[in-house]
Structure 1
Amino acid sequence: MTKHSETLTVPLLPLRDIVLFPHMVAPLFVGREKSVQAIEHAMAADEEIFLATQRDAKVDDPREADIHRVGTLGTILQLLRLPDGTVKVLIEGKRRARITAYRSGERFFLVDVAPLVEVPGTGPEIEAVMRVTIGAFEEYVKLNKKIPSEVALSISSIDDPARLSDTIAAHIPLKVHDKQSLLEQVHAGRRLERLLTLMRTEIQVAQTEQRIKERVKKQMEKNQRDYYLNEQMRAIQKEMGQKDEGQSELIELERRIKRKRLPREAAAKVRQEFKKLKMMAPMSAEATVVRNYIDWILSLPWLERTRDKNDIAEAERILNEDHYGLEKPKERILDYLAVQTLVKKMKGPILCLVGPPGVGKTSLARSVARALGRNFVRLSLGGVRDEAEIRGHRRTYIGALPGKIIQSLRRAGTKNPVFCLDEVDKMSMDFRGDPAAALLEVLDPEQNATFNDHYLDLDYDLSEVLFITTANALHTIPLPLQDRMEIIELEGYTEEEKLEIAKGFLLPRQIEAHGLTPDRMQVSDGAILEIIRSYTREAGVRSLERALATICRKVAREVAKDSEGDRVVKVNQASLNRHLGVPKYRQKKKEEKSEIGVVTGLAWTETGGAILEIEAAVMPGKGRLTITGKLGDVMQESVRAAMSYVRSRAHQFGLPWDFYQKVDIHVHVPEGAIPKDGPSAGITIATAIVSALLRIPVRNDVAMTGEITLRGRVLPIGGLKEKLLAARRSGVETVLIPEENERDLKEIPPKLARSLAIERVEHMDEVLRRALDMEDPDSLFTGLGPAEAPDCFQRPEAAEVHAPH
């Protein structure tokens, strides 16, 4: 360092975005080559270094005009060279100075500086300014948590106004040009006044920021960072007088609310929720929930309805046009329409269509909607096991939605649609609740006017909805739910009905769907009947339609190969094998002759009626009863009940009272891989056991059905129509049915009833008289027994074992 009458020659270190004050220690990272050489020169000469701030921090290679003239003389306390070539130095500011001249010819800035003489302030005025400044600084420290509280304590102990102003200026985040102006001010009193003015401004900014943070904090939820940022932005915009974002969306939503016709309760709820929405940040999670809730309410048909068609003749024409047969459900719908014409408002009935698959339950519901002129909506309940699927989720849950009932009504667009609840018998339940119990309110005409969905939490009127439910079986529907519905049973179709349905509905639809015309494809009645008998085994017509679709595909292939385009394909009974392959089913026929221990029974399945050939065989043994054929519990009990009946009548049959201790009886139902159950085979099993014990054949032209009691009474059964259809298919001429099923004969098609000799029986004795092939059936009950005693009642060494037929 060279002295020339108060002038010093020292290296210059230009600073970016920082002003170094006297008595201030600051770490600096130096990377520019000129600056590094200036520091090395100062360290080597053990002299002071001059630090001045650049006018523009972006200039990498500053010149004389780019650097402020007033700066600070300082000493280097520590130097550390970093691996990337930069230097970290710790510099302490000593005193103010001004550049008087730049020296040329050096690799770094070498300048002549003249120290600035401080003008100290004295007297009460400067003392007052110092106290006010210290108080303002302490207030600022309380607002700005970045400054340690220890700094405020150290500031209060400074009694030099010049040092006080420099120390405070070093700790307050002022702009660079403000700090530079403070550095250039040599009068301590004026510097304090200027600093006090700047500090007051900073305090006001900090107070405003604090006020904004407090306002935001009141409205935000805990641990929601995004919410906090959005509210802070909104509060800042409010301070600046700007409008909130998302305002246009709120305006559009408000316009929808004004246009929508709502009940009083729903309208009040929407207004309340919209008021809450306006107070929320547009992008917050809670605002999204409220917006979705309002949208659901506005999209539901609260008051919108369609006007019913009251033309009964037209409705009857539509129902007959869409469906063949199904007289009972058609009558019920027409009755409802007739009442609608006389009564302005009637609670919608709850109809339950029960029947095998493919008989047209769902399509009938669609035809009802067409006949009434109403919208149609369908909901499948198969596999539903969560109560919330019906009644909705509460809004407190994430991703909550209304139940399927409300969602379907939104799709329907009116409050009085025809609502088809498919597969109501296939719901289940688990720990999440019982959906069948949730349906009780929906399907109760006395309650559904105030159906309350958990999501909406509003009463919705379902009384005008025409609910039609479908099921394959009643026994899986809970009794309370059955009680709320009007059960209409759809029985299986006869062969004649299937033939008419195929000719009038199924075949034309498939011909059109496969690009054919009736002129290019002809199917004979015999072919359709053969498909019904040998390729499909069902009560409905779904498999029949698939078989016809298969034939249409084969025919379409042949027609596509025809280059001339005039080929007519005729499908008859003889060509079915070529189109459908080998028949899948063989029609069970009655036995060719009367057999001992073999009886033809009738059974009901979900796919229609079927015949069962129940066999019984008697063998020497010790009283064991064997039951085979994969029978269910109820059917096994029927076998035991039949055996008990035979034992109780042993005297009348001429059997020893202990006959069962000398023989083993085996009851078998063929097709053992198919599960079978039900009580209606009781009289059939008893007849087979009696025939096997007494060695009397059973007439091969007789089939029977009925439940048996221990006293021999014959109880009524279900599925009579399907069983009679199975009897006619198998060639049986006479059918024995319980006496109490006489009332069901009124529902049997006359043509089917005329084709069979239907005999009613009350007691098992009547069954044996009609079924056993005997010249004098009354002799069976004289106690004399048959002409020959069965071999198994002789001594074992003399017995001859007969193989069962």
Structure 2
Amino acid sequence: MDLYNKGARLEEILEENLPIEVKVNVLFDVLKNVLDEGAIRARTIRFKLQKYVNSTNINERVYALDVIASDGNGAKVVPSDEDLEKSLEDVVYWISENIAKKYVQNKIEADVEKALVERQDKFMDELRVSIIKKQKGKENTKTTAKLERLEKLDAKHINKNVMSLLRPENFEEVVGQERAVRSLISKMSSPYPQHIILYGPPGVGKTSAARLALEAAKKLKFTPFDEDSKFVEVDGTTLRWDPREITNPLLGSVHDPIYQGSKRDLAEVGVPEPKTGLVTEAHGGVLFIDEIGELDEILQNKLLKVLEDKRVEFSSSYYDPDDENIPAYIKYLFDKGAPADFVLIGATTKDPSQINPALRSRCTEVYFEPLSSKDIEGIVNNASEKLNVELEDGVGRLISQYTIEGRKAVNILADAYGYSLFNENGEESKNKITLKDVEEVISIGRYSPFERIDNLDKGEVGHVYGLGVSGFLGSTIEIESTVFPAKKKGHGTIKFNDTAGSMAKDSVFNAASVIRKITNMDINDYDIHVNVIGGGKIDGPSAGAAITVCIISALTDRPIRQDIAITGEISLRGNVKPVGGIFEKIYGARRKGIKLVAIPKDNEKEVPLGLEDIEVKSINHIEELMEIVFEK
């Protein structure tokens, strides 16, 4: 081995006057330096040389050395004593071959590595030159021409948004929502403003009221709002985010330096860049989320955490707090988070039971009322003043028959305004909207009357108005009944709409029992048919009292006042039990032109204050109701 370390040639090992055992040991050591131990072990096992390698017989050891060095291409049998020197020469030849191969392989690898380094350096130089060229100047002839084209396009406006023009500019223009507006302002105009959820039908002024409430609060010194407080508005139905946090416009996200396009100077040094979201933009002001009930549930939960912490935390596997290349603002965002202290106002058309309970528990609630016909007329009149147009008598009333939404009423008026600008001859007309203009717009738009107001002065037998609720809107339900003598006495039947619902059918059977009790009439002697006009589904027992008086009217041939509407569950004892949605039901009765609403006594406290155009009476028992509904 010493001879090898001194750089002696392999042939010199054979020429040295050394015992053959020493030569074999030296050649084994040389082979171990040429081949790694793994390769030697593998060849030993593959050619089954274990016993030869460790043999005390020198001939067998030379055979093993030859087979390992030649990888099985050399000796096939153990050499004899006469062939031993020749075998050692073969071993030297095979080891020399391995040394030559290893030398060439190492040289090729070194050349490849050198070429790769040179190419990498060249690529980085080219990349730096490219970046320098791009950063050399912000503008050139092409970018300047494109900017001029954009500015020219931006200076030309064809469509002015009528909704922006007619948007309420003060609380007086938010028609029909006096109670909701007072409640909203009181919650905002405080040293400790609360998060708020606004409930109500679409187009009644929730967004406008929220925007005006912030402006009012900014003028008060004791509120935390100031002139810089923003009103940031976003639509919950279109707000999308990526669960992997690649993008999150609401809360913010982190742009890593490789995949998500951080700034060029940050990408070069591998620095991730946080992008703040709308919650940070709304810091110190109001974040308004329209249709908050449609917001993704996971995103709602993340928003709740921001409401608690008043900050947004960022994290990234690329962030190294000890990296000196990280700008101070990025380090601030990662270490402390982004500020997000704001008042959340969410608006929804959903029922409160459909809103996330955790979100509701952190917010106070304000209910916006459905708009009455008078409210719609007021909105139309306000809009006509802003359009500087005169209305023919009855235009507001006509529009109010086809919508309960302030936004849609304004759209109908705007369409009629455009229609009225030119007459049939194409000449510019007077600045006036006529009934004919509105009727034409309604016909073209295929609008349907929201509620038909019929003649309610004349009483009818077997016909009564019940009351129902759908969402935030109440409406009247027409119920009629007729009776015939049974073909066979004592075998009468009762028929009712199959689509009305099981609870409504139970109300019919309850009514039959009550009628038998208070009139002493055997209803089994009659075939009774009760019908809900329109085939609507009734989800609940609230039509029970109305069904009862309707059947009694048909049985006794007593006419029922048609200007009265009834709601209440009927019990087997004839008691009128409380039901839900009283506020909405009274609203529906007002739109129909009803003069009197009969409600259960236990619902008396739910009647809105200040009703002028409708009377509400509370009753305990069906006999009290009969005294009211039947014409004298």
State the TM-score, normalizing by the size of structure 1.
Answer: 0.50
Tell me the residue number matched to 2:599: 737
Cα shift at 1:332 = 3.2
Contact map agreement 1:597 1:617 (CA 8 A) in 2: yes
Tell me the residue number matched to 1:661: 524
Write the distance in 2 (CA, Å) between the matches of 1:454 and 1:631. 56
1:334 aligned counterpart, secondary structure: helix
Cα shift at 1:771 = 0.8
Tell me the residue number matched to 2:134: none
Within the alignment, does 1:123 sit opposite 2:16 as a pair? yes
Contact map agreement 1:616 1:666 (CA 8 A) in 2: yes
Tell me the residue number matched to 2:493: 624
1:627-650 Cα offsets, whole Å, 9 max, x none, are 11732334333333333332332x
**What is the identity, as a one-letter code, of the residue corresponding to 2:364?**
E
Write the distance in 2 (CA, Å) between the matches of 1:144 and 1:559. 100
Within the alignment, does 1:410 sit opposite 2:277 as a pair? yes
Identity, in percent, stands at: 22
Within the alignment, does 1:589 sit opposite 2:454 as a pair? yes
Within the alignment, does 1:573 sit opposite 2:435 as a pair? yes
Tell me the residue number matched to 1:465: 342
2:198 aligned counterpart, secondary structure: strand
RMSD (Å), alpha carbons: 5.1
Cα shift at 1:662 = 1.8
1:686-710 Cα offsets, whole Å, 9 max, x none, are 1112212222111233333333333
Aligned pair in 2 of structure 1 residues 319, 741: CA closer, same or farther (>3 Å)?
A: farther
Contact map agreement 2:380 2:396 (CA 8 A) in 1: yes
Map 1:768-787; keep pairs closer than 5 Å: 768-774=626-632
Tell me the residue number matched to 1:791: none
1:268-303 Cα offsets, whole Å, 9 max, x none, are xxxxxxxxxxxxxxxxxxxxxxxxxxxxxxxxxxxx
Write the distance in 1 (CA, Å) between the matches of 2:553 and 2:595. 20
1:595 aligned counterpart, secondary structure: coil
Aligned pair in 2 of structure 1 residues 496, 633: CA closer, same or farther (>3 Å)?
A: same
2:618 aligned counterpart, secondary structure: strand
2:185 aligned counterpart, secondary structure: helix
1:357 aligned counterpart, secondary structure: coil
1:232-255 Cα offsets, whole Å, 9 max, x none, are 989x86x99989979x99xxxxxx
Q: Identify which of 501, 504, 507 aligns with 1:638.
A: 507
Contact map agreement 2:195 2:343 (CA 8 A) in 1: yes
Write the distance in 2 (CA, Å) between the matches of 1:619 and 1:462. 75
Q: Identify which of 517, 530, 539 aligns with 1:648.
A: 517
1:703 aligned counterpart, secondary structure: strand
Q: Identify which of 137, 141, 149 aligns with 2:35.
A: 141
Cα shift at 1:318 = 6.1
Contact map agreement 2:549 2:626 (CA 8 A) in 1: yes
Write the distance in 1 (CA, Å) between the matches of 2:99 and 2:196. 82
Write the distance in 2 (CA, Å) between the matches of 1:452 and 1:420. 21
Aligned pair in 2 of structure 1 residues 337, 351: CA closer, same or farther (>3 Å)?
A: closer
Write the distance in 2 (CA, Å) between the matches of 1:131 and 1:722. 106
Write the distance in 1 (CA, Å) between the matches of 2:510 and 2:337. 54
Tell me the residue number matched to 1:612: 477
Write the distance in 1 (CA, Å) between the matches of 2:39 and 2:498. 88
Map 1:337-486; keep pairs closer than 5 Å: 337-340=188-191, 346=192, 349-368=194-213, 373-380=229-236, 393=243, 399=244, 401=246, 406-407=251-252, 410-414=277-281, 415-425=283-293, 435=297, 439=300, 442-443=303-304, 464-472=341-349, 473-477=351-355, 482-486=360-364
Write the distance in 1 (CA, Å) between the matches of 2:577 and 2:295. 32
Write the distance in 1 (CA, Å) between the matches of 2:96 and 2:380. 99
Write the distance in 1 (CA, Å) between the matches of 2:435 and 2:366. 36
Write the distance in 2 (CA, Å) between the matches of 1:445 and 1:240. 49
Map 1:148-187; keep pairs closer than 5 Å: 149=43, 150-152=67-69, 159=86, 167-171=94-98
2:277 aligned counterpart, secondary structure: helix
Write the distance in 2 (CA, Å) between the matches of 1:325 and 1:442. 32
1:169-197 Cα offsets, whole Å, 9 max, x none, are 545566xxxxxxxxxxxxxxxxxxxxxxx
Cα shift at 1:769 = 0.3
1:62-98 Cα offsets, whole Å, 9 max, x none, are xxxxxxxxxxxxxxxxxxxxxxxxxxxxxxxxxxxxx
1:638-687 Cα offsets, whole Å, 9 max, x none, are 333333332332xxx3x24xx02222322111011x43334332221111
Query: May I ask how many residue pairs the two structures share in their alignment?
Result: 491
Tell me the residue number matched to 2:412: 547
Aligned pair in 2 of structure 1 residues 412, 707: CA closer, same or farther (>3 Å)?
A: same
1:324 aligned counterpart, secondary structure: coil
Contact map agreement 1:144 1:206 (CA 8 A) in 2: no
Aligned pair in 2 of structure 1 residues 764, 482: CA closer, same or farther (>3 Å)?
A: farther
1:599 aligned counterpart, secondary structure: strand
Write the distance in 2 (CA, Å) between the matches of 1:771 and 1:723. 18
Cα shift at 1:356 = 1.8
Contact map agreement 2:391 2:433 (CA 8 A) in 1: yes
Write the distance in 1 (CA, Å) between the matches of 2:314 and 2:561. 62
1:551-587 Cα offsets, whole Å, 9 max, x none, are 355456x489847xx5435321133333331762261
Contact map agreement 1:761 1:767 (CA 8 A) in 2: yes
Aligned pair in 2 of structure 1 residues 418, 612: CA closer, same or farther (>3 Å)?
A: same
Write the distance in 1 (CA, Å) between the matches of 2:316 and 2:495. 58
Q: Identify which of 395, 405, 410 aligns with 1:527.
A: 395
Write the distance in 2 (CA, Å) between the matches of 1:405 and 1:168. 71
**What is the identity, as a one-letter code, of the residue corresponding to 2:345?**
I
Write the distance in 1 (CA, Å) between the matches of 2:584 and 2:558. 30
Contact map agreement 1:141 1:148 (CA 8 A) in 2: no
Q: What stretches of structure 2 of length at least 5 have no aligned partner?
A: 1-10, 44-66, 76-83, 129-167, 219-228, 254-275, 318-333
**What is the identity, as a one-letter code, of the residue corresponding to 1:357?**
P
Q: Compare CA radii of gyration and give the structure with the larger one.
A: 1
Aligned pair in 2 of structure 1 residues 743, 148: CA closer, same or farther (>3 Å)?
A: closer
Write the distance in 2 (CA, Å) between the matches of 1:699 and 1:402. 62
Tell me the residue number matched to 2:617: 759
- Most deviating of 452-461 and 692-701: 452-461
State the TM-score, normalizing by the size of structure 2.
Answer: 0.62
1:137-185 Cα offsets, whole Å, 9 max, x none, are 44333289699945515779875887666545545566xxxxxxxxxxx
Write the distance in 1 (CA, Å) between the matches of 2:123 and 2:516. 93
Aligned pair in 2 of structure 1 residues 495, 636: CA closer, same or farther (>3 Å)?
A: same
Write the distance in 2 (CA, Å) between the matches of 1:208 and 1:530. 91
Contact map agreement 1:629 1:669 (CA 8 A) in 2: no
1:639 aligned counterpart, secondary structure: helix
Contact map agreement 1:680 1:707 (CA 8 A) in 2: yes
With a CA cutoff of 8 Å and minimum separation of 6, indicate the structure with the bigger relative contact order: 2
Contact map agreement 2:69 2:95 (CA 8 A) in 1: no
2:190 aligned counterpart, secondary structure: helix
Cα shift at 1:603 = 2.9
Contact map agreement 1:597 1:698 (CA 8 A) in 2: yes
Write the distance in 1 (CA, Å) between the matches of 2:448 and 2:560. 30
1:698 aligned counterpart, secondary structure: coil
Contact map agreement 2:292 2:346 (CA 8 A) in 1: yes
Contact map agreement 2:248 2:277 (CA 8 A) in 1: no
